[in-house]
């Protein structure tokens, strides 16, 4: 069995030397209630960067020299747990490990005949749920309003924009390459896209794309991109702070925001959230996401990297924007 451990807490951008690969025999003799799992797909996610630091957060940090964990889809090779049978597929928070023994807690059965297994880590998993709950619960969208999404071509952002279209919004996406902007418009049905890497005046570009102002901002990135959106908000705008990938690798102290006056004068709401705050909405979210997928109203992209050894690189590549849609590693 191969396992990936956290070797160092990254300073700034994570690098491959922050991870250690080990090979060892694992004890596969199962006790009652246990399962032997073979990993099939591993989710790499920006939030894992936070868990690699030892700063206090909503989930405890990873421990040094212990396996890293993330969302995983695995096949049950053997089971002594009555809830799962050999041959089942499950998803849950599991180790970055080729095979592992689990007690079955926190695992959910997934059905490969209903959707490709990787989809349970994206559109029908954590990132789909994040898009749905954040937009509906905090964004409270009303048809005809204007939504801006940053990190728009990623796993969460691409779904937020499409749900926005389904709910009758005008949707503008911000992403980092022209190819991603084309994808937003042609595949995901966004009304407009702005490449933040080639646009000199983001504030003006957003004003131009949103002539009626911004009613809802779904923020995945933080930093100067968000400042440029916030100066364009309307009265009673809702700002959903989902993530801030542009600052996750910062080593200096946070800079102060200078956009608060725009919140004050517009009586705007800015709210951070964690998808796990909304477990009561998951059944509704799953029902709508699967229906829209079946009706082809919702599309998804995945960047599938092959090979267990490439998990750390796939994770690091998130910070370079190498993915379109959900980044997953296939074993």
Binding site for ligand NDP (CB under 6 A): 45-47, 127, 130, 151, 153-157, 175-177, 180, 220-221, 225, 242-246, 273-275, 318-319, 321, 323, 327
Q: Are 39 and 74 in contact (CB under 8 A)?
A: yes
Q: Which of 77, 89, 165 is nearest to 121 (CA)?
A: 89
Closest separation in Å from C-beta 297 to ligand NDP: 20
Nearer to ligand NDP, 4 or 318 (CB): 318
What minimum distance in Å lies between the beta carbon of 195 and ligand NDP? Answer: 8
Least distance CB 5 / ligand NDP (angstroms): 22
For residue 43, give every residue at least 6 positions away whose Cβ sits within 8 Å of its Cβ, in sequence order, or none.
70, 71, 72, 121, 122, 125, 126, 326, 327, 328
CA atoms of 263 and 274, how far apart (whole Å): 22
| Residue 261 per-residue DSSP state | H
Smallest separation, CB 273 to ligand NDP (Å): 6
**Least distance from ligand NDP to the Cβ atom of residue 26, Å:** 29
Q: How far is the CB of 294 from ligand NDP (least distance, A)?
A: 22
Q: Which is nearer to ligand NDP, 30 or 274 (CB)?
A: 274
- Torsion from C-alpha of 300, 306, 312, 318, nearest 10 degrees: -30
Nearer to ligand NDP, 47 or 308 (CB): 47
Residue with tokens 């389904």: 166
Nearer to ligand NDP, 124 or 245 (CB): 245
| Pick 107 or 135: Cβ nearer ligand NDP | 135
Q: Which residue number, 90 or 121, has a Cβ lying nearer to ligand NDP?
A: 121
Rounded CA-CA distance 85/78 in Å is 7
Straight-line distance from the first to the last Cα atom of the chain, in angstroms, rounded to the nearest whole number: 13
């Amino acid at each position: 069995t191969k396992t990936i451990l956290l070797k160092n807490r990254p300073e700034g951008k994570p690098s491959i030397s922050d991870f250690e690969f080990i090979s060892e025999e694992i004890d596969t003799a199962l006790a009652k209630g246990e399962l032997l799992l073979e990993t099939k797909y591993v989710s790499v996610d920006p939030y894992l960067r936070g868990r690699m630091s030892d700063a206090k957060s909503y989930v405890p940090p990873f421990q040094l020299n212990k396996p890293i964990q993330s969302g995983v889809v695995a096949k049950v090779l053997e089971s002594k747990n009555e809830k799962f049978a050999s041959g089942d597929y499950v998803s849950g928070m599991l180790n970055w490990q080729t095979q592992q023994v689990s007690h079955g807690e926190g695992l959910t059965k997934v059905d490969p005949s209903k959707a490709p297994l990787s989809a349970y880590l994206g559109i029908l998993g954590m990132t789909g749920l994040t898009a749905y709950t954040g937009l509906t619960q905090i964004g409270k969208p009303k048809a005809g309003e204007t939504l801006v999404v940053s990190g728009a071509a990623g796993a969460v952002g691409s779904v937020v924009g499409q749900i926005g279209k389904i709910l009758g919004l005008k949707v503008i996406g911000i992403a980092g390459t022209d190819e991603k902007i084309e994808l937003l418009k042609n595949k995901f049905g966004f009304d407009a896209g702005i490449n933040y890497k080639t646009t000199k005046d983001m504030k003006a570009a957003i004003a131009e794309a949103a002539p009626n102002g911004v009613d809802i901002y779904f923020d995945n990135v933080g930093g100067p991109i968000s400042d440029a959106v916030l100066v364009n908000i309307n009265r009673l705008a809702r700002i959903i702070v989902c993530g801030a990938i542009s600052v996750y690798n910062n080593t200096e102290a946070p800079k102060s925001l200078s956009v608060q006056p725009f919140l004050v004068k517009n009586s705007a709401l800015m709210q951070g959230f964690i998808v796990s705050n909304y477990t009561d909405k998951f059944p509704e979210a799953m029902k709508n996401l699967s229906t829209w997928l079946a009706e082809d109203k919702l599309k998804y992209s995945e960047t599938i990297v092959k090979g267990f050894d490439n998990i750390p690189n796939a994770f690091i590549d998130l910070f370079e924007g190498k993915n379109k849609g959900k980044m997953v590693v296939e074993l």
